[in-house]
Amino acid sequence: MTELVYQHDSYLRELGATVIKVLSNRLVLDKTIFHPKSGGVDNDTGWIVYNGLEIPVNSVYYDKESGLLIHELEKPLEASEGVKVLLRLNWNRRYRLMRLHTAAHLLSAIMYRDYNALITGGNISEEYAYDDYSMETFDREAFLKAVEKANQIVRQALEVKIYWLPRDEALKIPGVVKLATRMPPSVDKLRIVEIPGIDVQADGGPHVRNTLEIGEIVLLKIENKGKNKKRIYFTVKP
């Protein structure tokens, strides 16, 4: 099992790790600062530094068959199991993903509070994000207002808190899960991301420490994709 160090500190840019398994250009490590593609958030990229070489990390994901966390490299690592390597994040990409991820939490909290809407799909990439909401009718004004309210919260400079709660206790919190069709993993403790007075969600991904870091949320497009699939595309200013 790979220790997900980024869940405790999303601002670490480098980390030493030990190679557990080498599968040509795919590595399994004892710990990582690379977030895999999961939870609707794209994976981190960066580099594995070994023996004076920087090898790009192109993809990070959970293997469906083994459940192992895979770091897929641009080319094979000429190393054996047990060697020490240095992980180096593509920080600019990571930080934009963090800002967009926290922005998405603000928007989902507002949509849940004001319209009782849950997320039915979505994805966060480096350039932009989108979310689908379980709204029966297409209400363009609702999304416009949600972005406006989210930006007002951003400017309040609220702390974003990270902590763990026993699963049973966490699931008693109203709105802790804002996904319409998926529950958190079956683990003893759930990682909680809280923006005090605004939102509490079970979530495993990287976030900023303060809403002010998000900057301005920019609405890109609103689409009616069908029943329970009203989509908003948004980004954050550079």
- Report d(CA 211, CA 152) in Å as an integer: 10
Distance of CA 228 to the CA centre of its chain: 23
Share of the chain above pLDDT 90, in %: 91
- Who contacts 17 (Cβ-Cβ below 8 Å, separation ≥6)? 29, 30, 31, 32, 84, 85, 86, 87
pTM for this entry: 0.96
Tokens 């909290």 belong to residue? 109
Q: Identical fold at 3-89 and 94-236?
A: no
Angstrom distance (rounded) from CA 27 to CA 232: 36
Q: Is the pLDDT of residue 30 over 90?
A: yes
pLDDT tens profile 131-169: 999 998 999 999 999 999 999 999 999 999 999 999 999
Does the structure show a pLDDT above 80 at 31?
yes
Task: Using CB atoms within 10 Å of the CB of residue 52, give its burial: 0 to 12 exposed, 13 to 18 middle, 19+ buried.
Answer: exposed
Say what angle helices 91-115 and 140-154 make with each other, to 10 degrees.
Answer: 120
Q: How confident is the model at residue 36, as a pLDDT?
A: 98
pLDDT at 74: 97
What is the CATH number assigned to the segment(s) 3-89?
2.40.30.130
Taking the domains of the chain in order of start, what are their residue ranges? 3-89, 94-236
Strand partners, 33: none
Mean pLDDT (whole number) for 35-49: 97
| 31-32 and 3-4 strand pairing | parallel
Helix (H, G, I), strand (E, B) or coil at 199: strand
Tell me what the mean pLDDT of segment 112-119 comes to: 96
One-character DSSP codes across 68-100 = -EEEEESS-----TT-EEEEEE-HHHHHHHHHH
Classified as helix, coil or strand, 181 is coil
CB contact at 8 A, 50 and 29: no
- The structure tokens listed for 170 are 């966490």
181 pLDDT band (50/70/90 cuts)? Answer: confident
Sheet holding 119-124, edge to edge: 119-124, 129-133, 230-236, 217-224
Cα 143 to its chain centre, rounded Å, is 22
DSSP conformational letter for 179? B
Average pLDDT, the chain: 96
At 84-105, the pLDDT tens digits run 999 999 999 999 999 999 999 9
Please answer whether residues 195 and 157 qualify as being in contact, where contact means their C-beta atoms are separated by less than 8 angstroms: no
Q: Is the pLDDT confidence value at 117 over 80?
A: yes
Q: What is the residue type of 214?
A: I
As a whole number, mean pLDDT of residues 3-25 equals 97
Fold of 94-236: Threonyl-tRNA Synthetase; Chain A, domain 2 (3.30.980)
Q: Is 172 helix (H, G, I), strand (E, B) or coil?
A: coil
pLDDT score recorded for residue 180: 80
Choose the weakest-confidence range: 13-17, 39-43, 185-189.
Answer: 185-189
